[in-house]
Amino acid sequence: MDLAPASPTTQEKTLTVLGLESSCDETAAAILRRAPDGSQEILADLVLGQNDAHAPFGGVVPEIAARAHVEAIDGLVVEALKAAKLTLDDIDGFAATAGPGLVGGVMAALMTAKALALGTGKPLIAVNHLEGHALSPRLSEDVAFPYLLLLVSGGHTQLLIAEDVGVYHRLGSTIDDAAGEAFDKTAKVMGLGFPGGPALEKFAQTGDVERFALPTPLRGRPGCDFSFAGLKTAARQVWDKLDNPSDQDRADLSAGVQSAIAKSLAQRSGRAMDMFVERYPNVAEPRPFLVAGGVAANKAVRSALSDAATARGFTMTAPPMKWCTDNAAMIALAGMEHLVRGQTDDLDAAARPRWPLDAQSAKMNPAIGAGRKGPKA
């Protein structure tokens, strides 16, 4: 599969990178090849989900996830090489997510990449999962830096400007739950099934959005941080007051929750667009607004974001769903970008549960979970 060309670098020969991902509940392996002229191709792109293993618990269980990654990852590497018709000797670098994420899971990909790097004598690239998402639009779109990105998944909700490879300016982030978590946890309260987000969207289709009007989080507040914990509690309180709730009650509450989340994402993204224009007044319209992460699958969210973008001279684009959600192609791409710049890692690179993409703004903004363990996202 041919991809959008990369920005020119000083790369002298064709390079092939194997990328591995296991930071949440997807085990993934991909192989990316890039020629010196910047043309690139995905030679393998495999993802194994674990929904069945977690469904009985209504959410991702870290220990179950870690075990499933360990059991799957070796076989997936073999499958990826087979799909690409390559052997380990053809790989020039091994890239793996090294965080942030569920650390037991992160270790599966990272240790595998370390072992492969050690065994072949080729470099290891320890990739920040968020950088993978931040660069993922460049797998499918010929999108130039700088661009505004909303990353909205089960683990992360943040707005950042991707200024260059390795240069990310974070504008806002969630101060508590991620948007996907709000979808999932509210769906769990209502017993809609797992994964909750898509189930809630389905119920919302037949719901009355006006019946349980819920507050839009942080409405009118300065900046573009997010908060979803209050909304989750408000929805639970509405639910607890319902006597013997029916499917119509479920649908109505789903519609209310979905609308509040969509409005909040659109309002905060609108503020981020204004900040982008202030920082980059010379970027011509339509300015690029990219959306990645599983929540980007939600039609109400997409439509609210698209309206906010159009109103401000931006165009909203989302990568194809397979690269919006967790995948290894984006990890291979981030790994490739660092490899061609000579940025590789030692074999003692640590698995990191927390690893903000923009360390500077994390330090400057104590609202973003400035606990002992540092910022969450």
Question: Which residues lie near ligand KG4 (CB under 6 A)?
Answer: 24, 153-155, 180, 183-184, 195-198, 201, 293-295, 297-298, 325-326
Q: Which residues pair with 44 in a beta bridge?
A: 31
298 binds, among Zn ion, ligand KG4, none (CB under 5 to 8 A by kind): ligand KG4
Question: Binding-site residue total for Zn ion (CB under 5 A)?
Answer: 2
5: cis peptide before it, omega within 30°? no
Return the exposure string of 153-176: e unless at least 16 CB atoms fall within 10 Å of the residue's CB, then b. Answer: bbbbbbbbbbeebbebbbbbbbbb
How distant, in Å, are the alpha carbons of 263, 273, 283, 306 from that of 278? Answer: 23, 9, 10, 20
User: Which residue's CB is nearer to ligand KG4, number 93 or number 101?
Assistant: 101
d(CA 1, CA 43): 7
Smallest distance from ligand KG4 to CB 258, Å? 7
Smallest distance from ligand KG4 to CB 255, Å? 12
Q: What is the DSSP letter of 295?
A: G
Edge-to-edge strand ranges of the sheet holding 124-128: 40-49, 26-34, 15-21, 93-99, 124-128
Smallest distance from ligand KG4 to CB 229, Å? 15
User: Which residue's CB is nearer to Zn ion, number 294 or number 369?
Assistant: 294
Instruction: Read off the tokens for 336.
Output: 């490739």
The alpha-helical segments, DSSP class H, found in 315-366 are 321-324, 329-340, 359-364
Q: Which residue has the tokens 């914990």?
A: 229
Q: Which of residues 247-276 bind Zn ion (CB under 5 A)?
A: none
User: Which residue's CB is nearer to ligand KG4, number 186 or number 365?
Assistant: 186
Smallest distance from ligand KG4 to CB 374, Å? 19
User: Which residue's CB is nearer to Zn ion, number 130 or number 300?
Assistant: 130
Point out which span in 10-18, 221-229, 235-243, 326-334 binds Zn ion (CB under 5 A): 326-334
Neighbour count for residue 342 (Cβ, 10 Å) = 8
Smallest distance from ligand KG4 to CB 282, Å? 32
> Residue 109 in 3-state DSSP?
helix
Non-local (6+) Cβ contacts of 164 within 8 A are: 145, 146
Smallest distance from ligand KG4 to CB 196, Å? 5
Cβ-proximal residue to Zn ion, closest one: 326
User: Which residue's CB is nearer to Zn ion, number 172 or number 207?
Assistant: 172
Residue 358 touches Zn ion, criterion: CB under 5 A: no
Point out which span in 58-66, 176-184, 257-265, 322-330 binds Zn ion (CB under 5 A): 322-330
d(CA 178, CA 232): 11
Residue 326 touches Zn ion, criterion: CB under 5 A: yes
Smallest distance from ligand KG4 to CB 327, Å? 9
User: Which residue's CB is nearer to Zn ion, number 153 or number 186?
Assistant: 153
Q: Which of residues 135-154 bind Zn ion (CB under 5 A)?
A: 153
Reference 250, options 302, 201, 299; nearest CA is 201
Smallest distance from ligand KG4 to CB 93, Å? 24
Residue 21 touches Zn ion, criterion: CB under 5 A: no
Chain contacts with Zn ion (rule: CB under 5 A): 153, 326
